[in-house]
Amino acid sequence: MKITFWGTRGSIPVPGKDTVKYGGNTTCVSVETDDDSLIVIDAGTGIKKLGGYILKKKINEIYFFLTHSHWDHIQGFPFFVPAYIKDFKIKIFGASPTYERFMKIFTGQMKYLYFPVEFKNLSSIITYEKVLKKGSVIKGLKITAMKTIHPLETHSFKFEINNKKFVFMTDNELDSRNLTNEQYQEFIDFVQNADLLIHDAQYSKEEYNRYIGWGHSTWEKVVEFSNEANVKKVYLTHHDPDKTDEQLDIIEKKAQDYSKSTEVFLAREGITIEI
Q: The domain spanning residue 9 has which CATH number?
A: 3.60.15.10
Pairing of strands 272-274, 136-138: unpaired
The answer to whether the beta carbons of residues 196 and 166 sit under 8 Å apart is yes
CA distance 129 to 89: 13
If one counts the domains in the chain, the total is: 1
Query: Domain containing 20: what range?
Result: 2-274
pLDDT > 90 in the chain, percent: 99
Identify the pLDDT of residue 134.
83
Identify the pLDDT of residue 4.
98
* Model pLDDT for residues 25-79, shown as the tens digit of each residue: 999 999 999 999 999 999 999 999 999 999 999 999 999 999 999 999 999 999 9
Q: Average pLDDT of the chain? A: 97
